[in-house]
Amino acid sequence: MTDLKLKVTMDLSVVLVVGSCFGLLGNGVQSDRDDEKLQSLPQDQPYRTGYHFQPPKNWMNDPNGPMYYKGVYHLFYQYNPYAAVWGNITWAHSISYDLVNWIHLDIALSPDDPFDINGCWSGSTTFLSGGKPIILYTGGVTMNRQVQNLAEPKNLSDPMLREWVKSSHNPVITHVDGMDSENFRDPTTAWQGPDGLRRVLVGNEMNSHGRALLYRSRDFVTWTQSKEPVHSSTRTGMWECPDFYPVSIDGKNGVDTSSLDKFRKHVLKASFNSSDHYVLGNYTAVTDNFSVDTDFLDNGSDLRYDYDNFYASKTFFDSAKKRRILWAWIQESDSTTDDVKKTGLVYSHFPRSILLSKTGKQLIQWPVEEIEKQRTVNVRFKNKELKGGSVLEISGITASQSDVEVSFNSSNLKEADLLDPSWVDPQLLCSQKTASVGGNIGPFGILVLASKDLTEQTSIFFRVFRSNEKYVVLMCSDQSRSSLEEGLKKTIYGAFIDIDPLNEMISLRSLIDHSIVESFGGEGRACITARVYPKLAIDNQAYLYAFNNSTFDVNISTLNAWSMKKAQIVSFTKRRKPHLN
């Protein structure tokens, strides 16, 4: 019997007839209560992941209102209970004790009131004084009018918070004349200023440009709009899912959203143009002034959480482990496969902890430590020379469901190619200089979800350039050969990464999970999530390699790779249809 089963049993006070292994839950386990059932998810096709969070079936998009309450992690998310396409959007609700294994509960919010009849859209949770969690979410009233609503738990003694009640005051925030009411959504977690007032941001646009409106409230019900948005930009479109939170300058722990600690910077994140972009700045709580160090899409600086498939993210402060955790939505990028349409294959990223880097110029992300419990068989070695033009198989682990850490170095750095000053766009550079294009130091890296004959491979690799007296490291994720299937999106993504290869290893970690590859370069300084659909490199036909396609040799300083256990994801829901008008 696993921890998870014990927890379910204890918390629900039901007797479970337990199967011998969790994978058999669908047949083996039943609740003795007529109105509740516990069931496992289908494993119906090769692209379904093993250890990433996924809904029971159908469509999900943005993660909403993540929080930690009485020993339980809660994740809500935008969910269509009826189909594998966007529509009829509810707040689905899942809980976890360890951020790895999940229990799906009943839907928390359904669109059945005039103030959200068109959908219960994204929002956040906030803890009120006394520790009571409250949801602030966007209601779609009509397709071109959005309002902000409140909901609270029915029973605060229930750590699972299984039932939520919408406020009789809804809607609590509506647009004013002259404001775009069609793009007015996604309230943030509220923070408290020194005057005791709560503040939230709501995403909006003005003349097609993004801005984050600021609202203040004493009682969380009556909200007053500040004259000025906290920030805006004429370079971007509408800001979806804004997020605003402090990060500590010593970079060791996460901090509470309301922290007024002096040793902090603030992060403002906005989702636009299919990416989650962020800026760092100084926030003065007394005046609500936010001055950014470098603005969105500034020349030479475009900070993003992730450079590929990553959108509509949200963070929360985990008071149990003093860390800030980031959740985001991985979109389906294959619209051609019928199986996918039938079942829906959308996921969340593995939760990442997020900190300010030592330089203070960017954020660092890393999979939460709980993931290490999933590691099983391990392969490791040190100091292996990778000759120019060589490919090395890393065998002995389940390459389709694994966690790989590798670091490279080279004594040949002085031979690195010169960086042309016109090469300012890393994505363009990766697209021109793919893994097949040789260089002096790079391309070298790993080939994941590769077929034995290498006709299918997703390569994650580095190149080192010289620029004046410095080295510049480029990280690329190349999906151009990831599947023999025609008509898929096979984009190549890239980022410059702040590594000084003279003084540190060039490191890479990749979480490989059937159709998702989350890669972290330079210990989390640049992240790229690829969504891939191989035809050959499936399950035990998937292989892992290290490669060096450069003229000069590089060394693998260390390599550590693990097979990963499947996460236990079960549904525990009342046997009733979610209510829908």
Ligand X SMILES: *[C@@H]1O[C@H](CO)[C@@H](O)[C@H](O)[C@H]1NC(C)=O
- Catalytic residue set: 62
If you write DSSP's letter for every residue of 285-305 in order, what string do you get?
TTTTEEEESS-TTBTTB--BS
Give the residue, chosen from 315, 409, 507, 515, that forms a contact with ligand X under the rule CB under 6 A. 409
Cβ proximity to ligand X, 272 vs 316, nearer residue: 272
Cβ proximity to ligand X, 110 vs 563, nearer residue: 110
Q: Answer whether 256's CB lies under 8 Å from 244's CB.
A: no
List the interface residues with ligand X, window 353-382 (CB under 6 A).
Answer: none
In the complex, least distance from residue 300 CB atom to ligand X, rounded to whole angstroms? 5
List the interface residues with ligand X, window 118-177 (CB under 6 A).
Answer: 155, 157-158
Q: Answer whether 482's CB lies under 8 Å from 534's CB.
A: yes
- Say whether residue 287 binds ligand X (CB under 6 A): yes
Give the residue, chosen from 115, 317, 496, 547, that forms a contact with ligand X under the rule CB under 6 A. 547
Cβ proximity to ligand X, 268 vs 567, nearer residue: 268
Q: Look at residue 560 and give its three-state secondary structure.
A: strand
With contacts defined by CB under 6 A, how many residues of the chain interact with ligand X? 43
- Say whether residue 557 binds ligand X (CB under 6 A): yes
Give the residue, chosen from 110, 258, 362, 555, that forms a contact with ligand X under the rule CB under 6 A. 555
State the pairing for strand pair 102-109/133-142.
unpaired
Q: How far is CA 10 from CA 6, 26, 33, 96, 159, in A?
A: 6, 20, 14, 14, 12
Cβ proximity to ligand X, 297 vs 379, nearer residue: 297
- Cα separation, 545 vs 532, whole angstroms: 17
- Say whether residue 28 binds ligand X (CB under 6 A): no
Give the residue, chosen from 293, 415, 417, 485, that forms a contact with ligand X under the rule CB under 6 A. 293
Give the residue, chosen from 167, 455, 551, 560, that forms a contact with ligand X under the rule CB under 6 A. 551
In the complex, least distance from residue 193 CB atom to ligand X, rounded to whole angstroms? 13
- Say whether residue 412 binds ligand X (CB under 6 A): yes
Cβ proximity to ligand X, 543 vs 547, nearer residue: 547
In the complex, least distance from residue 286 CB atom to ligand X, rounded to whole angstroms? 7
- Say whether residue 438 binds ligand X (CB under 6 A): yes
Q: How far is CA 437 from CA 122, 429, 452, 460, 551, in A?
A: 43, 11, 21, 14, 11
With CB under 6 A as the contact rule, which of the stretches 15-23, 69-77, 432-440, 465-473 interacts with ligand X?
A: 432-440
In the complex, least distance from residue 359 CB atom to ligand X, rounded to whole angstroms? 13
In the complex, least distance from residue 550 CB atom to ligand X, rounded to whole angstroms? 6
Cβ proximity to ligand X, 124 vs 483, nearer residue: 483
Q: Which residues lie below 8 Å from residue 6, measured CB to CB, with a gap of 6+?
A: none
Q: Which residues lie below 8 Å from residue 432, measured CB to CB, with a gap of 6+?
A: none
Q: Which amino acid is at 475?
A: M
User: Rounded to 5 degrees, what are φ and ψ at 48?
Assistant: -70, 135
Residue matched to tokens 């006394």? 130
Q: Which amino acid is at 120?
A: C
In the complex, least distance from residue 313 CB atom to ligand X, rounded to whole angstroms? 17
- Cα separation, 60 vs 408, whole angstroms: 38
- Say whether residue 193 binds ligand X (CB under 6 A): no
- Say whether residue 282 binds ligand X (CB under 6 A): yes
- Say whether residue 273 binds ligand X (CB under 6 A): yes
Nearest to 358 by CA among 522, 558, 245: 522
- Compute the residue count for the chain: 581
Give the residue, chosen from 435, 446, 448, 464, that forms a contact with ligand X under the rule CB under 6 A. 435
Give the residue, chosen from 27, 335, 359, 411, that forms a contact with ligand X under the rule CB under 6 A. 411
Q: Look at residue 224 and give its three-state secondary structure.
A: strand
Residue matched to tokens 């969910």? 79
x/- mask, ligand X, residues 378-397, rule CB under 6 A, reads -----x-x-xxx--------
Q: Which residues lie below 8 Å from residue 2, measured CB to CB, with a gap of 6+?
A: 22, 101, 568
Q: Look at residue 254 and give its three-state secondary structure.
A: strand
Nearest to 544 by CA among 405, 386, 394, 408: 394
In the complex, least distance from residue 344 CB atom to ligand X, rounded to whole angstroms? 11
Query: Running DSSP on this structure, what letter comes out for residue 173?
Result: B
Four-CA torsion 281, 283, 289, 290, nearest 10 degrees: 20
- Cα separation, 22 vs 371, whole angstroms: 18
List the interface residues with ligand X, window 83-112 (CB under 6 A).
Answer: 83, 85, 87-88
Q: Answer whether 146's CB lies under 8 Å from 181's CB.
A: yes
- Say whether residue 402 binds ligand X (CB under 6 A): no
List the interface residues with ligand X, window 63-82 (CB under 6 A).
Answer: 80, 82
R_g of the chain computed on alpha carbons: 24
Residues forming contacts to ligand X in the complex (CB under 6 A) are: 80, 82-83, 85, 87-88, 155, 157-158, 273, 281-282, 284, 287, 289, 291, 293, 297, 299-300, 383, 385, 387-389, 409-412, 435-436, 438, 447, 459, 547, 549-551, 553-555, 557, 580
